[in-house]
Chains A and B, each alone.
Chain A
Amino acid sequence: MSTSRILRRAVLLLAVAPALLGLPTQGQAAEDKVIVVTSFPKDLTGKFKSEFEKRNPGVKVEILSKNTSSGIKYVQETAANNTSDIFWASAPDAFEVLKGDGLLQKYTPKVAGIPEKVGAYPINDPDGYYTGFAAAGYGIMWNTRYLKAKKLKPAKEWADLAKPVYHGHVGMSAPSRSGTTHLTVETVLQGEGWEKGWASWKEMAGNFKTVTERSFGVPDGVNSGDFGFGIVIDFFGLSSQASGFPVEFVYPTVTTLVPANVAILKNSPHPQAAAAFIEFLLSPEGQTTLLDPKIRRLPVNPATYAKAPPGFPNPFKDKSIGAVVKFDVDLSKRRYNVVNSLFDVMVTYRLDDLKAATRAIQKAQAAAAKRPNDEKVAGLIKEARALVAAVPVTEAQASDPGFSKVFKKKRRKKTDKLPQRQAEVEEQWDAFVTKNYAEALAKAEQALSMAR
């Protein structure tokens, strides 16, 4: 028998196997392809495509690259006449949106040996709609040439980024733009508490050079040397370094490991090939592929780390990564949109005001350091800080379902009444925030002139 005939028989066997095992067969003929909507870069998708095709002859992987939000919109708009099989992306929240719209198909992977949690975050969707296949954590990356030229030291903890020396040297994306950035914001909020967490974020944001529109804008800026430090997900830092840029990356103590996920779409035209694709991602070969220097994501199968290069972070062994915060997924979900909107109102859209107030406070603080006993100055600075830190919503309100409903379009029933419109709420917040920043600036300048 020639090899091609063996291959053909193997394909045939693969196609009838589910029927023999009594699984539902939707497609009658052998499935010859699987269509994957993904936000992952080519370096990752290309490698997995070729590895999968090598092991599943006769099945072609068609990759459709879209950024996460276009990907979601694409799946939503095409649902009535669905032509895609798999949604494959990082942010768990993207999958939550699709799951909420009833666009995902439940699937339980058969691969054994994958634990329930990575760090403090559950790997799979508890309801079984999507599956984690890799993990990633947030951290700080920096450009070594930039630091050398500006005579700066690397910042290794979130709190370091709030120091006056780093003013104007930091870049980050907005949580409403990038699901992984959202998790970083939420992690710090959960780790330090609502009030203190927001105060920390604003102290860091006061040092921002910019808030980028897309998450890849951050490593781009650091790689170019546009700003020195970036708050990024690990593989952005690690793969930039692997591509030769003069950058380094570190995990701060407070970080959350987040699974990157994969799910089968409802009414997928090639459900068996889709299942095979997920099984491959979780198989030992698929997990090892994650270690590729251009991919660099953390496998979810602990056994795979045995093949990792020295120095590769292992969250299953090194309990310091992502273990400090007990991440509360439910809490995060309840206030998801409120946190995004708050960040945009307080930081993204009013960054110039926030920077000006922060800079004035930093200067006043430096001047006051020379006169430690001046209580009036110290009091003014304290007041200014409190004004900047103030949040227009309490923690209880933020996670109150009656309030966060304002941010969801979908009404459940015709009789559902919304207390307010999102635009009204944001306008109130904006008025609160701009007034506070302006007052903080005035107080800090007053303190500075008194301290001189």
Chain B
Amino acid sequence: MNAHWGQRGVALLIAAFLFLFLVVPVAKVIIVAFQAPGTGAFTLVNFQDFFNTSLFREAFWNSLYVAAISVLVATAFAMPLAYFTTRFEFRGAVIVQTLGIIPLIMPPFVGAVAMQLLFGTNGSVNLMLEEWVGINIPFMDGLNGVIFVESIHYFPFILINLSASLNNIDRAMEESAQNLGASGFRLFRRIVFPLAMPGYVAGASLVFIKVFDDLGTPLLLNVNTLLAPQAYLRISSIGITDPMGYVISVILVGFSLFAMWVAALALRGKDYGTEQRGGGGLAKRRMRPWEGVLSYGVIGLILLLVLSPHIGLTLLSFGTIWSFSVLPDGYTINHYREVFEQSPQFVTNTMLYASLAALVDVTIGTAIAYLVLRTKIAARKWLDYTAMAALAVPGVVLGIGYLRTFFGVQLPWSGQPLASWWVVLVIALSVRRLPYALRACTAALQQLSVALEEAAENLGAGKLTTVRRIVVPLMVGGILAGFVTSFATAAVELSATIMLVSRESDAPLAYGLYVFMQTAAGRGPGAALGIIAVLIVGIATYLSHRVIERGQKARGLADEY
């Protein structure tokens, strides 16, 4: 296929967007990493310092270890949920899939408090364990604590992408394998899982990079011998302007890109595209009774574990005082009342910002995936890499970069600085969450055989028509998965938000959470606000699953077997 002028135009537009809203603002901040502390001249001496510092080397290995093990643990959570719900006739599959995304929304601060109250040294679980068996398990201590929380928090990336992939597998493949005598685990290992590989790799690489770059969890556990918190602590401490914080940011970005490249290698040279589409994926089999009991049991246990932070959060939002005890002292609905009386605009702002950001993300994500996989435009891979780099940029760096780049620019109609316009907040959110949508869209397109598009073009359809009528409809599962992950995580983003909010009336929910969590009395209302965020995302996810299901039914295929 030769590059079409329209494709070039789209590529240029996206490149301009990424350049203006990601590369320039970030470069304006992390340029310090390349400047000599005394003179401001260009130098690499700061990088030399990084590798000469034992604390940073230790932090690097710790981050690598935590990220790798978290991928394994997250896989163990996600695999059964994805497999059982897509492979079998499973009651409540939509509910499981919806609940499965909830852990992605760990509201800042309150999420931490809820986790400590449940799993901390003196949390509910340990208080009960001490009472009954006299032991205390350090769930939340050190690197293992980080792995525990990270894998609970980020396993939905694997779940969502793997499920989308499983649903996209051509049933004919499975049937041929069965005709050739494969069944059971062998069928899964040799046929089903390899075909779902693009989704798994998309999810696993997201988990790896996200955990490697994650700030929130280590900070909540006060573990600071990891790279991301080291960068953050150095960037945000008062008065000191240590270039090392920015050096670490550069290294985080570089290493994340390297990990992306490795993940792409894993899929290279294989063709995952299959022709039959929209058939609801694998044949759904009815489970034998004992299988049913077993799989419901496994899924129930996993859900209980991964949703426990949210159970804690619910208790916190209804509890009066909860201190050094298994459960709160009493219950009340006043926290919710306070939230609704004081700040209903937080909720509406969040819905508006997160859905706009997610919409931008799936649009750009689909476009980049198409350009990378279906065209030969020069340097197209760099669009992908640049967009993914956003994953490794700390929110505070992006926030400062936006202020630095856009505060001097005035809006023509109001004279207000561009940086204080709420739309900039949406752009910041969409840049930060673009990688999630991008990976989901890429995986979806990888599973789509190019033969379908060629057929359409042979029949006379133009490029745009092919994309609109063939590619996008067949990718819809992946696009929705991308929308949901971007939406869910944008709804609770805080670190760039807090830099950019310039009017309380424009502030989203995460900012409200921050404001509540500054005071001892704000803990309950903060938790209530967190639960509202969870509900918003839960409902959005549920609805989008229903949309997929209805789409499949409309094509008359889902209930065929």
- Which positions in A face B, CB cutoff 8 Å? 40-43, 62-70, 72-74, 77-78, 80-81, 83, 91, 93-94, 96-97, 143, 145-146, 149, 176-177, 179, 209-213, 216-217, 219-221, 223-227, 236, 239-240, 242-247, 294, 336-337, 340-341, 344, 348-349, 352, 406-411, 414, 416-418, 421-424, 426-427, 430-431, 434
A41-B522, A70-B399 known; 7 other A-B pairs, CB under 8 Å? A146-B122, A176-B233, A224-B323, A236-B520, A349-B55, A409-B243, A423-B243
Q: Is the CB of B240 within 8 A of A427?
A: no
A226 touches B120 (CB 8 A): yes
Q: Which of B196-204, B469-477, B495-503 has 4 or more CB atoms under 8 Å from chain A?
A: B495-503
> In chain B, residues 403-456, which have Cβ atoms closer than 8 Å to a Cβ of chain A?
403-404, 407-408, 410, 416-417, 419-420
Chain B residues whose CB sits within 8 angstroms of the CB of A216 once the complex forms: 517-518
Interchain residue pairs A-B with the least CB separation, the first 9: A225-B324, A409-B241, A77-B403, A423-B49, A41-B518, A240-B520, A418-B38, A243-B521, A41-B519
Distance A70 CA – B494 CA, assembled complex (angstroms): 12
Cross-chain contact B37 with A226 (CB below 8 angstroms)? no
Q: Does B348 contact A (CB under 8 A)?
A: no
Is B182's beta carbon under 8 Å from chain A? no
The size of the chain B interface, using a CB distance under 8 A, is 71
Distance in angstroms between the alpha carbons of A221 and B49 in the assembled complex: 35
CB distance from A284 to the nearest CB of B (A): 25
Return chain A residues, CB-CB under 8 Å to B502: 64, 83
Is A42 a contact partner of B37 (Cβ separation < 8 A)?
no
Spell out B's residues near A (CB within 8 Å). Answer: 32, 37-40, 45-46, 49-50, 52-55, 113, 116-117, 120-123, 142, 219, 222, 224-225, 229, 233, 236-244, 320-325, 396, 399-400, 403-404, 407-408, 410, 416-417, 419-420, 498-499, 501-504, 511, 514-523
User: In whole angstroms, what is the CA distance A307 to B522 when docked?
Assistant: 27
**B516 — which chain A residues lie within 8 A by C-beta?**
42
A83 to B323, CA, bound (A): 42
Q: What is the CA–CA distance of A96 and B239 in the complex, to the nearest angstrom?
A: 9
- Smallest CB-CB separation from B49: which chain A residue? A423
Q: Which residue of B lies closest to A426 (CB)?
A: B53
Q: Is the CB of B420 within 8 A of A83?
A: yes
Identify the closest chain A residue to B524 (Cβ).
Answer: A243
Q: What's the least CB distance linking B209 to chain A, in Å?
A: 22
Question: With a CB–CB cut-off of 8 A, which chain B residues contact A341?
Answer: 240
Q: In whole Å, how far is B430's beta carbon from the nearest beta carbon of chain A?
A: 21
Pick 20 A–B contacts, CB within 8 A, sort by A. A41-B522, A65-B518, A67-B498, A69-B238, A97-B239, A145-B323, A224-B113, A224-B120, A224-B324, A225-B122, A225-B325, A226-B122, A239-B520, A349-B55, A409-B243, A410-B241, A421-B45, A426-B53, A427-B55, A434-B54
Cα separation A113 to B188 with both chains bound (whole Å): 81
Complex: chain B residue closest to A222, CB-CB: B323
List of A residues within 8 angstroms of B37 by Cβ: 406, 409, 418, 421-422
Given A77-B407, A221-B116, are A63 and B504 also a contact pair (CB < 8 Å)?
Answer: yes
Residue of B nearest to A423 (CB): B49
| Partner among B225, B407, B517, B523 whose Cβ is within 8 Å of the Cβ of A81 | B407
Residues of A within 8 A of B499 (CB): 66, 70, 73-74
A202 to chain B, nearest CB (A): 18
Contacts of B416 in A (CB 8 A): 83
Tell me whether B55 and A97 are in contact (CB under 8 A).
Answer: no
The reply to whether A411 and B39 contact each other, CB–CB distance below 8 Å, is: yes
Q: Please state if B520 and A65 are interface contacts (CB–CB under 8 Å).
A: no
**Is B54 touching A43 in the complex (CB atoms < 8 A)?**
no
Residue contact B519 to A42, C-beta cutoff 8 Å: yes
Nearest CB of A to B37, in Å: 5
Nearest chain B CB to A269 CB, angstrom units: 11
Q: How far is the CB of B356 from chain A (nearest CB, A)?
A: 23
A390 CA / B417 CA spacing, docked (Å): 51
Whether A430 lies near B116 (C-beta < 8 A) is no
Q: Given the known inter-chain contacts A83-B417, A411-B39, please indicate yes or no for A143 contacting B55, CB distance below 8 A.
A: no
Asked if A430 meets B501 with Cβ closer than 8 Å, knowing A42-B516, A83-B420, the reply is no
Using known A-B contacts A70-B396, A349-B224, A427-B54, determine if residue A62 contacts B407 with beta carbons closer than 8 Å.
no
- Report the bound CA distance from A410 to B241 in whole Å: 8
CA distance A321 to B30 in the complex (A): 45
Q: Which residues of B contact A210 (CB under 8 A)?
A: 222
Chain A nearest CB, measured from B559 CB (Å): 50
CA distance A45 to B120 in the complex (A): 32
Contacts of A62 in B (CB 8 A): 503-504
Docked pose: A43 CA to B516 CA in angstroms: 9
Q: Which residues of A contact B242 (CB under 8 A)?
A: 407, 409, 422-423
Report B-chain residues with C-beta under 8 Å of the C-beta of A42.
515-516, 518-519, 522
Closest chain A CB from B143 CB (angstroms): 11
Given contact pairs A143-B324, A417-B38, A213 touches B219 in the complex (Cβ within 8 A): yes
